[in-house]
Structure 1
């Protein structure tokens, strides 16, 4: 028995979208970026810890975990043994699908990173990511935050784990969210992203996991529905 029905989670997802749009309306992205950078750029952009640990190290760890999750479909280990084969497959595919979704959006976006702005020593002008298709004079491809998806991609595991352990599901979700914001914050300090980029990545990854859960739930309900006897109604 799950703690929250899918309908309630759907409502919470929409409320999160409203809050996210409200954040965009505040214009706080630039204010936060100015706290980390100046006309000379971002001092922490090439910081060894930020680059080699928080960026490269975290990314490599995330991909190692993805490989481990796919291997666990066939050879489960630890608490993953409590999940069915289908559950383990859903978990692994949800993570991968979330990463792909964020990557597709990034490649379609013409929004440039803070460090590309004229205000911070670059060549681009600030254009809201809502102005889809409008070139800002920079390289683009910065929205949403791809690096934060290295952690946020795992939030969809909540839907799978709550079937066997609501407590484990909440812990999994909490760790994924905290790690995602840590990675997002490190990139913001480097000038690689705005706060809204991180928030949108979190929401997109959650929606991917939620959509897959809805699809799996509907498929299972139809598959497990008992067949009507051939003589019924005759």
Structure 2
């Protein structure tokens, strides 16, 4: 067992979880920060009333993870077509697909079948984890609580947590919008599988996207800052466990290739998903 791999990939997020719990959940920092964004005279979060800000940061921003998930799903479905075509047995069909320029796309999808299915499953697992935590903690958003003109009481997630049944109507912890950005971390694990030298850029870009998504909702009064950190921690762990199931530790811990090096062809990295 490579303790360094597990210490880095599990140890750091778990340490971050402990830090977030102590710094935010056990103090009033979240409330103090949201107080700075709240206008007590109008009893509103001013940015929550700006239609364009809401559209830009909440509606349009969903395009990135939504399109990524849709592309992965389409790729996963296409990945099973080329083996079914089997040009050796159906040469006329194979020739038709070559002439129509569809064959290269189908071959690419088939070669990366495991990756497309991984992204689909990772997105689904992340979404499921976040929805489970929301339902089983029943935390209301700041704007819904009596602290900021709402009707619901402010309650910390650990005071409401129920493992085996839903805790109530609240659905604010962890940050759902932030988790949408963080799910792009699934692409980082695909890049690590191929030892791509830009994998670090994907990692930091995905983290930045999640923090931007989460922070915009904090500014509008629909989340506390700690909700974003918790979303990132849970999504990372969900993506990591899914990646280990699909690729294995040995592949994920290989060093990133340098510019003069080339990754191995996809066919040599692992057998197709359907044959395993």
Q: What TM-score, normalized to structure 1? A: 0.80
In 1: Cα distance, 2:126 partner to 2:161 partner: 23
Which of the pair has the greater relative contact order for Cα pairs under 8 Å at 6+ separation? 1
> Residues 138 and 169 of structure 2 are in contact (CA less than 8 Å); yes or no, is this contact kept in structure 1?
yes
- What is residue 13 of structure 1 aligned with on the other side? 13
In 2: Cα distance, 1:112 partner to 1:18 partner: 22
Unmatched tracts of structure 2, length 5 or more: 80-103, 163-167, 252-269, 271-276
SS at match of 1:86: helix
- What is residue 92 of structure 2 aligned with on the other side? none
> Residues 210 and 232 of structure 2 are in contact (CA less than 8 Å); yes or no, is this contact kept in structure 1?
yes
- What is residue 228 of structure 1 aligned with on the other side? none
Q: CA deviation at 1:92?
A: 2.6
Segments ≥4 residues shifted beyond 3 Å = 217-221
User: Quick one: structure 1 residues 219 and 169, their matched pair in 2 at CA, closer, same or farther if it must change by over 3 Å?
Assistant: closer
Q: CA deviation at 1:95?
A: 2.0
Q: CA deviation at 1:6?
A: 4.0
In 1: Cα distance, 2:161 partner to 2:127 partner: 22
Unmatched tracts of structure 1, length 5 or more: 225-234
Q: What TM-score, normalized to structure 2? A: 0.69
In 1: Cα distance, 2:135 partner to 2:14 partner: 25
- What is residue 147 of structure 1 aligned with on the other side? 177
Report how many aligned residue pairs link the two structures: 214
> Residues 36 and 189 of structure 1 are in contact (CA less than 8 Å); yes or no, is this contact kept in structure 2?
yes
In 2: Cα distance, 1:94 partner to 1:151 partner: 13
> Residues 114 and 246 of structure 2 are in contact (CA less than 8 Å); yes or no, is this contact kept in structure 1?
no
In 1: Cα distance, 2:177 partner to 2:159 partner: 22
In 1: Cα distance, 2:112 partner to 2:5 partner: 20
Q: CA deviation at 1:53?
A: 1.1
1:50 aligns with 2:53: yes
User: Quick one: structure 1 residues 61 and 219, their matched pair in 2 at CA, closer, same or farther if it must change by over 3 Å?
Assistant: closer
- What is residue 196 of structure 1 aligned with on the other side? 226
1:98 aligns with 2:126: yes
1:128 aligns with 2:156: yes
Q: CA deviation at 1:133?
A: 4.7
- What is residue 232 of structure 1 aligned with on the other side? none
Q: What's the C-alpha RMSD, in Å, of the aligned pairs?
A: 2.8
